[in-house]
């Protein structure tokens, strides 16, 4: 069911310098025929993407269920309040809160349904700022729980990027969950989106104040199955070592770039460049 364990050689993405990319998805510009081995690698990569997308959907669904439950508790409590207090002011307040919570509930389910429906596996001009905010809706409770303070800086003039919204949302989720796990408890997370100086790109930065990555492991973090985690954490996330491999794979398929800078004890920043529309 899952990507088989017996993968003989890791896909070619293990070289983290994202500029030279021997293979990405389907369309091979040069048109030279693929060897059996290359075809096999392509096949494994497609499987990796598929399992990652199922895992993301599962993760999203469980996160959203918790969020949704929270929202329902708010609705129930304010409905009770409105029934108990018959004066206009209390009822207006209760109804206002119920409306607010219901709108949030509808946003949460909307995000899940969009992923499940494969809203946009095709590459099209996409508002990455909106995608960041959608993704954060799902992680709000988790970030609060671990006291991670999240700052978003979305440049007002940022151009749309030519991407698959679903795939880039997966990348964002992976990076944000990694950041949250690296922080552990209490820290800062910055998400910045802007046009890069080079007019070709839109640039997304995810910076955390977490544990950082030692220089000797940094070259391995994009390798499939490389993980320093002992298994899923108490929120049921992490530990397979496929998150960043999938991110790299997705960014390569967009002909974008991903790089990482990290200092142990200070934190880590991932910078992604995607083609501007
Ligand atoms: N923001 C970060 N700060 C510190 N270390 C990180 C960060 N992001 C990734 N890492 C390191 O890179 C490793 C690989 O990350 P990756 O997301 O691929 O796998 P994982 O998080 O261990 O498991 P999963 O496949 O469930 O995401 C992690 O185990 C961790 O050691
Ligand atoms: Mg991860």
Q: How many CB atoms lie within 10 A of CB 270?
A: 22
Q: How many CB atoms lie within 10 A of CB 106?
A: 11
Ligand 2: centre distance to CA 208 (Å) = 14
Radius of gyration of the chain (CA): 21
Whether the CB of 25 sits within 6 Å of ligand 1: no
Pick the residue with more confidence: 126 or 49?
A: 126
Report whether pLDDT(228) > 50. Answer: yes
Count: domains in the chain: 1
pTM of the model: 0.74
Q: How far apart are CA 56 and CA 119, in angstroms?
A: 14
Pairing relationship of beta strands 201-208 and 257-263 according to DSSP bridges = unpaired
Pick the residue with more confidence: 69 or 24?
A: 69
Surface-to-core class of residue 6, CB atoms within 10 Å of its CB (0-12 exposed, 13-18 middle, 19+ buried): exposed
Ligand 2: centre distance to CA 96 (Å) = 38
Residues in the chain: 277
Residue whose CA lies nearest to ligand 1 atom number 27: 243
Q: Taking Cα atoms as reference points, which of 199, 103, 180, 94 lies closest to residue 139? A: 180
Dump pLDDT digits (tens) for 122-175: 899 999 999 999 889 888 888 999 999 999 999 999 999 999 888 898 899 899
Domain range for 252: 34-69+113-275
Mean pLDDT in residue range 199-222: 97
Whether the CB of 210 sits within 6 Å of ligand 1: yes
Substitution site in 172, 177, 178, 233 for ligand 1 pocket (most atoms within 8 Å of beta carbon): 178
Residue 175 belongs to a domain: yes
Residue 95 belongs to a domain: no
Tokens at 199, concatenated: 């007019």
Residue 133 belongs to a domain: yes
- Nearest ligand to the CA of 221 is 1
Whether the CB of 209 sits within 6 Å of ligand 1: no
Report whether pLDDT(19) > 50. Answer: no
- Nearest ligand to the CA of 179 is 1
> Where residue 226 sits, what CATH number does that domain have?
3.30.565.10
Pick the residue with more confidence: 56 or 219?
A: 219
- CA 101, distance to chain mean position in Å, is 24
Residue whose CA lies nearest to ligand 1 atom number 9: 178
Residue 210 makes CB contacts below 8 A (sequence gap 6+) with: 179, 181, 182, 183, 184, 187, 267, 268
Residue 178 makes CB contacts below 8 A (sequence gap 6+) with: 238, 243, 244
Please give the pLDDT value at position 22: 33
Q: Assign 238 a pLDDT band (cuts: 50, 70, 90).
A: low
- Ramachandran region, residue 93 (left: φ > 0; alpha: ψ -120 to 50; beta: rest): alpha
Ligand 2: centre distance to CA 247 (Å) = 10
């Amino acid at each position: 069911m899952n990507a088989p364990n017996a993968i003989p050689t890791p896909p070619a993405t293990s070289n983290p310098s994202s500029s030279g990319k021997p293979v990405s998805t389907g369309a091979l510009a040069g048109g030279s025929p693929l060897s059996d081995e290359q075809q096999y690698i392509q096949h494994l990569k497609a499987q990796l993407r598929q399992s990652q997308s199922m895992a993301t959907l599962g993760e999203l669904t469980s996160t959203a269920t918790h969020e949704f439950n929270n929202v329902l508790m708010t609705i129930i409590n304010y409905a009770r309040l409105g029934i108990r207090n018959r004066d206009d002011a209390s009822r207006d307040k209760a109804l206002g809160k119920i409306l607010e919570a219901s709108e949030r509930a509808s946003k949460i389910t909307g995000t899940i349904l969009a992923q499940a429906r494969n809203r946009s596996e095709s590459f099209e001009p996409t508002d990455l700022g909106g995608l960041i905010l959608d993704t954060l809706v799902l992680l709000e409770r988790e970030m609060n729980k671990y006291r991670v303070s999240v700052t978003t800086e979305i440049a007002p003039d940022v151009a749309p990027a030519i991407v698959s919204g679903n795939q880039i949302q997966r990348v964002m989720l992976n990076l944000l969950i990694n950041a949250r796990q690296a922080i552990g408890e209490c820290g800062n997370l910055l998400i910045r989106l802007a046009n890069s100086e080079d007019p070709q790109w839109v640039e997304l930065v995810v910076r955390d104040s977490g544990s950082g990555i030692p220089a000797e492991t940094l070259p391995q973090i994009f390798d499939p199955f490389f993980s320093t985690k002992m298994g899923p954490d108490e929120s049921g996330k992490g530990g397979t070592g496929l998150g960043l491999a999938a991110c790299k794979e997705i960014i390569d398929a967009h002909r974008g770039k991903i790089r990482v800078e990290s200092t142990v004890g200070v934190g880590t920043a991932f910078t992604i460049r995607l083609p501007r529309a």
